[in-house]
Amino acid sequence: MNPSVPSQAAATGVAAQRLPLDGIRVIELSHMVMGPTCGMILGDLGAEVIKVEPPRGDGTRRLLGTGAGFFRTFNRNKKSIALDLDSQAGLDALHKLVDTADVFVENFKPGRMASLGLDYETLRKRNPKLIYVSHKGFLNGPYEHRLALDEVVQMMAGLAYMTGPVGRPLRAGSSVNDIMGGMFGAIGVLAALHERHATGTGKAVQSALFENCVLLSAQHMQQFAATGVAAAPMPERISAWAVYDVFTLAGGEQMFIAATGDGQWRALCAILDRPDLLADARLATNNDRVLARGWLLKTLGETLASLEGAALEPQFERDHIPFASITRPEDLFADPHLIASGGLAPLMLDDGSETAMPLLPISMDGERLQPRRPIAKIGEHTSDVLRGIGYGDAEIAALLASGDAPQKAA
């Protein structure tokens, strides 16, 4: 279900302005989430991103279940060319394309790029200005030849342990490491582009799932280093704040409510009409309330069970009490803040339909970075791109006829 949104052609603002990466050409040879996220970020920032797909297209296009949203989410603002890289003609075309590029993005298993002559050492000889960003499971070290998935590294790096109850490690409910790994790859590209202004040469950048996830667990590592006490998984932890939990309201509605300071505690007691709690000497400070958390949460829960979220929300907002209704992802299409703030934008898909798509969580001079082109069909831009690097019509026709590129794009 998608909300009513303006057509993509009507999008205005930053999409019509000069963007930070205008004039930068990115060749993206990647699939799934991590590499495509990097390419999407660079594309949203204005780079020309050319996604290289096999003749049948990126297999991510055909995923079902939890992968059904991957391709459309992470492949906007890209052109698509289709090349058979197992053929010499396809490889030759890609090499010529790389000669014109500023950035090369890949996320294939270790050794695959070298087997095709597309590793950094080979490509830098052709194009010394090239910034080559690899997205892998691990940075250099004993694990570097292992294959990794988001779930694998969440288990390895402590995140799954911290998320689930004791004895039941649980991965986060999104591809957090793949997405953040692509983001760190893009950050590396931006740094290398800046450095290139001074040096005139490119650089190899690498981003990795495992090290990304270790960063997510760093606060728990340092909690142990600072206190000598191992961090407990989230369901078992001793909270730093007494009121910091999910409560069940009237009608079974659930809401997270927090009171992290004394001012918020006083406001919460007033809203709930519980002056008795405010007057209780056992609850005088936050630390006192943490020690009383067992019975305190129970009595707060009893009061909240008769109240409705719609009545509480404006009072919590007024008194700056952190709160959140428990929301499902599909509910976000109707989120009033996302709609009013322009956080969702219409994106045309490769089948001609439209969906509302969350944008990058940044603004520039108050404007959000918009979709500028629809999700590309497989090989939609093959002819145009090849013509732009010197291929004649006859050469393009021969390449298309060979099956290296399945579509004659406009």
- The pLDDT tens digits of the residues spanning 9-18 come to 434 334 457 8
How far, in Å, CA of 269 to CA of 277, rounded?
7
Residues 325 and 349 occupy one common structural domain: no
How far, in Å, CA of 6 to CA of 245, rounded?
38
Residue 119: the pLDDT is 97
Residues 48 and 77 occupy one common structural domain: yes
Copy the structure tokens of residue 363. 């603004």
Residues 170 and 296 occupy one common structural domain: no
The share of the chain scoring above pLDDT 70, in percent, equals 94
When divided into structural domains, the chain yields a total of 2
The verdict on residue 260 lying in a domain is yes
Query: Residue 130 belongs to what domain range?
Result: 8-217+344-401
Residue with the bigger pLDDT between 176 and 400: it is: 176
Task: Check if the beta carbon of residue 260 is closer than 8 Å to that of residue 323.
Answer: no
178 is catalytic: yes
Assign residue 323 the CATH number of its domain. 3.30.1540.10
The verdict on residue 232 lying in a domain is no
The verdict on residue 410 lying in a domain is no
Least confident of 4-18, 41-55, 184-198, 330-344: 4-18
* Confidence category of residue 229, pLDDT binned at 50, 70, 90: very high
H-helix or E-strand spanning residue 60: none
For residue range 301-320, list pLDDT tens digits in order. Answer: 999 999 999 999 999 999 99
Residues 350 and 321 occupy one common structural domain: no
Residue 259 above 50 pLDDT?
A: yes
Residues 257 and 314 occupy one common structural domain: yes
Assign residue 33 the CATH number of its domain. 3.40.50.10540
The verdict on residue 335 lying in a domain is no
For 173-322, where are the E strands, in sequence order? 204-208, 243-248, 254-259
Copy the structure tokens of residue 246. 């999910």
The verdict on residue 3 lying in a domain is no
Reduced to 3 states (helix: H, G, I; strand: E, B; else coil), residue 407 is coil
Q: Among residues 282, 305, 330, which one ends one of the domains?
A: 330
The verdict on residue 339 lying in a domain is no
Residues 199 and 63 occupy one common structural domain: yes
Q: Which residues contact 7 (CB under 8 A, 6 or more apart)?
A: 346, 354
Q: Which residues contact 334 (CB under 8 A, 6 or more apart)?
A: 3
The amino acid occupying position 57 is G
Residues 96 and 171 occupy one common structural domain: yes
* Confidence category of residue 403, pLDDT binned at 50, 70, 90: low
Please provide the DSSP assignment of 77-119 as one string: S-EEEE--TTSHHHHHHHHHHHTT-SEEEE-PPTTHHHHTT-S
Residues 323 and 258 occupy one common structural domain: yes
Q: Among residues 303, 330, 357, which one ends one of the domains?
A: 330
Q: Among residues 330, 356, 385, which one ends one of the domains?
A: 330
Residue 237: the pLDDT is 75
The verdict on residue 225 lying in a domain is no
Candidates 58, 178, 245, 276; catalytic one: 178
Residues 278 and 178 occupy one common structural domain: no
Residues 152 and 205 occupy one common structural domain: yes
Residues 85 and 57 occupy one common structural domain: yes
Residues 209 and 243 occupy one common structural domain: no
The verdict on residue 273 lying in a domain is yes
H-helix or E-strand spanning residue 291: helix 286-291
